[in-house]
Amino acid sequence: MRLAGLAFRNIQRNRRRSLLSGAAIGVAALAIVFMFALKEGMIEDIAGNVFKYVTGHLRIRHAEYDANEELNPLHLRIEDSSRLLAQLERRGEIAAAVPRIPFFTAFYRGERTVNGYGLGVDFRREAGVMDLDRMLQAGGYPEAGARQAVLSVGLAEELGLGVGGKVTLLTKNMYLGMSGMTLQVTGLVRLPVAGFNNRLFLLPLDTAQSLLKMGDSVTEILILLQDRGALEPEAAALNHLLAAGGRQDLAATAWTRLGSWYSLIRYTDAAYNLMALFFLVLGTTVIINTTMMVVYERMREIGTVSALGMTQGQIVRLFFLEAFFIGAIASLSGTLLGIGITVPLSLHGLDISKLSEGMSLEVSNVLYPRLNWKSTLLVFLYAVTVASLASLFPSLRATRIEPVEALRRV
Amino acid sequence: MIKVDNVFKDYRVGETVVHALRGLSLEVERGEFLSIAGPSGSGKSTLLNLIGCLDTATSGEIYICGQAVSGRSKKELALFRRERIGFVFQSFNLIPVLSAYENVSFVLSLLGENGSRLKERTLGILEEVGLAGLEDRRPAELSGGQQQRVAIARALIKEPDLVLADEPTANLDSANGREILKLMLECNQRHGTTFIFSTHDPMVMEYARRLVGLQDGKVSRDERK
């Protein structure tokens, strides 16, 4: 009888106990696989939303814009934006470049004033960046140059407007004077980011330029790269290009250096890893407890096999193998169950709209957990390793006892 | 074959030091069938444990087949036991998840034996101890006498120099006890294996070819029959 065979028999001695300790590891593996998939999905989702709606992979703005952003500094602008866009679009590294003008405004509805957040966009170009089709809930998108807008559903509800309705807005233009315009609502949109759905409205870029008296200027250009990995080199190349074109006032910045999104993603990653560790520690505690019980219950048997000539190393290996088998079976089952739960959710999505309501995070209403095979495999291997190593402490302690002492134990 | 030379063994129980063996000396020849008798606390089991390399002496020396036991590492002692010493325990101490066959062959597999030779030897020894046909039964499915026969087969299969049996009949009725003693005596005569067993059972002493009495950790009598 080989050691492995004996170990396998031993785990069947008390099936209920083996099942219990296996269940602890299995549930931990299942939870971690699902958590990691959720994390991957969430990070990918946040990153995707940040890229599409906030920063792009790279963002070109006036070098001083960010420091004054709260003041809506339209004068810190990108002049002659069409020429720059044409230059950018010629670069093979760039998948899309979209000009935008974000601005704060106030809507007037009878006696009521409602704050809004406008975004002047080039709908033709945005088709390659924003999910325009998925966003549209009713009506259609405005024509270029028309005094039209699409409203986010929350804003439309607050204004009491539907498709075809009209609303007047008042805002501060580039020269710090006041400008007003009456816009016709052509459609309603629901953005994937819950936080955007209460205040945002989109209007054609040239309409915004006219309203804000900005000529051909925009306040930012968002850039999506062909290769997200080439973030820093492309930022450097663009800054070089801007400087060479005499546009030292502008700066191209990688999204990782903008706002707190990158930190948020890293924090999310670390928090989930910590939670995973917590689950694993809980599972490990159960298996340590079980192995300890098993070892002390079988003390006399340890004395017997020691008398028969098994060395300390072989005895420790025996208990290690027992824990390994439980750990391997449980981890495999837990991991497979985790995959089984995650795969359908990754196809159909997990509706978290109730949870994300009112959140300022760029998290979509529907999350799609993403299985990362590397991390799933890592969870399996880690759970097996931890479960197996957990047996070492009690079995090493047990084998330090003299065989004669062990034989006396009942 | 075995020389116990002025061996002392002290145990510390809380504040008290118990002197289990007090300068005990004994020599055992190869092939002897020897019983160590004495009242509880006389040092029988302690002496057996020391000879079996399961415990170490406080002072003095034990030689088995001319080799000193003291100063060896735990691993060396385990390997020494594996190759040269067989044990029969009072409560059989079989591994409950293994069948009779596996309990016996386990010892051979520790010695690196496998394949047809292992099977042949295991079935042979089980037949010799009267367990042919019961090879696949687990300990729980065997009677006390049958379990002790498995234990004897387990002790003998590696053809050890020495078999140590601590009160081998204590958990058996007298009929089964007698059968086990007969079996051990037969094995002793057939294989020439040295048997040392501790007991305070008069029936066991009756079978012994040499009777060593212990009293207060010293040899009080030594009779050959």
pLDDT tens digits, one per residue of A332-374: 999 999 999 999 999 988 887 776 665 555 667 788 898 888 8
**DSSP symbol at A289:** H
CB pairs under 8 A between A and B: 69
In this predicted structure, what is the pLDDT of residue B91? 87
The three-state secondary structure class of B8 is strand
Interchain contact A4–B (C-beta under 8 A): no
Interchain contact A134–B (C-beta under 8 A): no
Q: How far apart are CA A396 and CA B4, in angstroms?
A: 32
Total domains in the fold of chain B: 1
In this predicted structure, what is the pLDDT of residue A363? 67
Instruction: Look at residue A244 and tell me whether its pLDDT is greater than 60.
Output: yes
Q: Which residue has the higher pLDDT, A294 or B39?
A: B39
Q: How far apart are CA A42 and CA A352, in angstroms?
A: 11
Could you tell me which residues come within 8 angstroms of residue A314 by beta carbon, excluding any fewer than 6 positions away? Answer: A3, B110
What CATH number does residue B168 fall under?
3.40.50.300
Do B81 and A307 count as a contact with CB atoms less than 8 A apart? yes
**Domain assignment of residue B181, yes or no:** yes
Chain B residue with Cα closest to A9: B97
Q: How far apart are CA B123 and CA A197, in angstroms?
A: 81
Q: How far apart are CA A267 and CA B10, in angstroms?
A: 62
**DSSP symbol at A207:** H
Helix-, strand-, coil-residue percentages of chain A, each rounded to 5: 55, 20, 25
Q: How far apart are CA B117 and CA A137, in angstroms?
A: 81
pLDDT in tens, A85-142: 999 999 999 999 999 999 999 998 878 889 999 999 999 999 989 989 988 999 999 9
Angle at A399 between CA A395 and CA A400, to 5 degrees: 120
* Nearest-CB residue to B75 (from A6, A303, A312): A312
Q: How far is A7 from chain B (nearest CA, A)?
A: 10
In this predicted structure, what is the pLDDT of residue A361? 56
Spell out which residues of chain B touch residue A314, defining contact as CB-CB under 8 Å: 110
Supply B34's token pair. Answer: 């020897």
Q: Which of residues 184-223 of B touch A (CB under 8 A)?
A: none
Q: How far apart are the first and last CA of chain A?
A: 25
Residue spans of chain B under pLDDT 50: none
Residues shown for chain A: 410
**DSSP symbol at A142:** P
CA distances from residue A235 to A77, A82, A232, A270, B187 in whole angstroms, order as listed: 19, 20, 5, 27, 89
Q: Could you tell me if A223 and A51 are in contact, meaning their C-beta atoms sit under 8 angstroms apart?
A: no
In this predicted structure, what is the pLDDT of residue A157? 92
Spell out which residues of chain A touch residue B102, defining contact as CB-CB under 8 Å: 1
Supply A60's token pair. Answer: 């070109």
Spell out which residues of chain B touch residue A313, defining contact as CB-CB under 8 Å: 75
Q: Could you tell me if A334 and A25 are in contact, meaning their C-beta atoms sit under 8 angstroms apart?
A: yes
Q: What confidence category does residue A275 fall into, taking pLDDT thresholds of 50, 70 and 90? A: confident
- Tell me the one-letter amino acid at A177: G
Do A301 and B89 count as a contact with CB atoms less than 8 A apart? no
**Domain assignment of residue B2, yes or no:** no
Q: How far apart are CA A295 and CA B175, in angstroms?
A: 36
CB-count burial class (<10 Å; 0-12, 13-18, 19+) for A12? exposed
Q: Which of residues 314-333 of A touch B (CB under 8 A)?
A: 314
**DSSP symbol at B172:** S
Q: What is the pTM of this model?
A: 0.74
Q: How far apart are CA A40 and CA B182, in angstroms?
A: 73
**Domain assignment of residue B98, yes or no:** yes
Do A310 and B78 count as a contact with CB atoms less than 8 A apart? yes
| Beta-sheet strands, E only, within A47-110 | 58-62, 94-109
Q: Which of residues 371-410 of A touch B (CB under 8 A)?
A: 402-404, 407
Among A41, A75, A169, A164, which Cα is nearest to A113's? A169
Interchain contact A260–B (C-beta under 8 A): no
* Nearest-CB residue to B55 (from A1, A310, A402): A402
Angle at A316 between CA A312 and CA A322, to 5 degrees: 150
User: How many Cβ atoms are within 10 Å of B124's Cβ, its own excluded?
Assistant: 12
Do A9 and B87 count as a contact with CB atoms less than 8 A apart? no
Residues shown for chain B: 225
Interchain contact B127–A (C-beta under 8 A): no
